[in-house]
Structure 1
Amino acid sequence: MADWVQNLMDSMGYVGILLLMILENIFPPIPSELIMPSAGFAASRGDLNLPLVILVGTAGSVLGTLPLYYLGRAFGEEKLVAWADKYGKWLTLSGKDIRKADDWFDRHGTKAVLFGRLVPGIRSLLSLPAGMSEMPMAKFLIYSSIGSAVWASILAGAGYLLGENYDRVEQYVGPASKVILAVVVVAAVVWFVRRKKAQGQG
């Protein structure tokens, strides 16, 4: 995949970075941990400009969040609550749980979006609850842009400094993203099991 990413950037330049970062948010198997360091490496060779690389990478990352945001917005809290009340019993999930989660996101959503954009593995997924909780578009874009800019700067800067060894960034960050996803899945399973036990005792 590294060769494909590099070839796309060599042939399309900034447009390639933009498209790849949009796709990265929709199809996580294309990792930003590979795209942006590769772009940073291209900048270190003098083929691209580092500030423009970061700007275009940030723009692509933010644009890539919009499909999931609008999907969450279209699905909406009320539809999800109705679904949970009707079909959520096998997941020990109720409409009340959905409303609690939505209330939490209303209180902490800006921090979740801002810092979540810096966390591999879940950075793309946060767009769904943001849309479901109807976070105002302007606020969502502002915090997504800040978090994405920091993330793009770190990755592109690392690629710029590492030069031909830019792929080491993905080697370190890639396993970390898998660990984070595993922790999220385990936490969800533990939550479901505890709820099931609580309901059985109730």
Structure 2
Amino acid sequence: MAHVVLAVVAEHNGGLAGIATTIMEKLGELFGGPGAGIANALDSIFPFLPSEVILPLAGVSAGQGHMTLASAIFWTTLGSIVGSQIMYYIGMMLGQERMRALAAKIPFVNPEEIDRTEAWFAKHGVKAVFFGRMVPVFRSLISIPAGIERIPVAKFIVFTGLGSLIWNTIFVVAGYKLGQNWQLVEQYAGILTKVVVGVVVLAMVYFVVTRVRRRQPATSRGRHSRR
């Protein structure tokens, strides 16, 4: 019954939400609880797959008796850990030297800023992993710098699991309670995602503008001295 409900939902959703819905429906139909875990692992690897869709649908599936609520939370959290671990090892393989080489090619970024960022993450990396798992967009990306900075694997798994457990429980329970009205969760979560993206865009604009302004006086002084 649950996979029928999810299939109907999939037919009425387009874009990324539709893709996430279809993935969740197919995997849930084939594997049950572990399928929800696989779907959420994919969300941890590919940021464009919204957990705000996958997790409530796991709750809907639990509400329809396809799995228990505890099972939905367990498997989605395990999926988060597994997917994040893959991204962690990608970051580890990338390494600090390659990251420095890539960052050096980015306009307006200098080595001192990279050093400060690394120092900050070395000091607060565990907190960043924990809270980052509860922030849209960043929840899928935070594992890469954790791997680059080689946060101890055990700590990474523990704090990834704790942050994911909180995030997953909220959305799975919401889907479980709302049933076929789970789209309300996606709507409100979508607003939060837009706010986060908006803040990031503003921060990037501020960063670029301040760097340009710092370079302009130096350029003007150089021209003046040549005169």
TM-score with structure 1 length normalisation? 0.90
Amino acid at match of 1:24: D
Are 1:20 and 2:36 matched, yes or no? Answer: no
Give CA-to-partner distance per residue, 1:104-137, whole Å, 9 cap, x none.
1111111111111111121111111111112111
Q: Which runs of at least 4 in structure 1 moved beyond 4 Å after TM superposition? A: none
Are 1:175 and 2:191 matched, yes or no? Answer: yes
Are 1:93 and 2:140 matched, yes or no? Answer: no
Amino acid at match of 2:180: E
Of residues 76, 79, 100 in structure 2, which corresponds to 1:57? 76
Q: CA deviation at 1:3?
A: 4.8
In 2, are the aligned partners of 1:68 and 1:131 still within 8 Å (CA)? yes
Give CA-to-partner distance per residue, 1:127-153, whole Å, 9 cap, x none.
111111121111111110000011110
In 2, are the aligned partners of 1:40 and 1:157 still within 8 Å (CA)? yes
Query: d(CA) in 2 for partners of 1:138 and 1:200?
Result: 47
In 1, are the aligned partners of 2:21 and 2:57 still within 8 Å (CA)? no
Amino acid at match of 1:120: P
Alignment correspondent of 1:141: 157
Alignment correspondent of 2:206: 190
| Structure 2 gaps, min length 5 | 1-17, 219-227
Q: CA deviation at 1:77?
A: 1.7
Query: d(CA) in 1 for partners of 2:169 and 2:148?
Result: 29
Distance change in 2, residues 1:3/1:82 (3 Å): closer
SS in 1 for 2:206: helix
Amino acid at match of 1:171: Q
Give CA-to-partner distance per residue, 1:59-116, whole Å, 9 cap, x none.
101111123212221222233224444x34xx11122211110111111111111111
Are 1:41 and 2:60 matched, yes or no? Answer: yes
Alignment correspondent of 1:117: 133
Query: d(CA) in 2 for partners of 1:123 and 1:3?
Result: 19
**Matched pairs, number:** 199
In 2, are the aligned partners of 1:82 and 1:95 still within 8 Å (CA)? no
Are 1:107 and 2:107 matched, yes or no? Answer: no
Query: d(CA) in 2 for partners of 1:3 and 1:83?
Result: 35
Which structure: larger Rg?
Answer: 2
| Structure 1 gaps, min length 5 | none
Moved more, 66-75 or 100-109: 66-75
Give CA-to-partner distance per residue, 1:175-200, whole Å, 9 cap, x none.
32133123113212311321232233
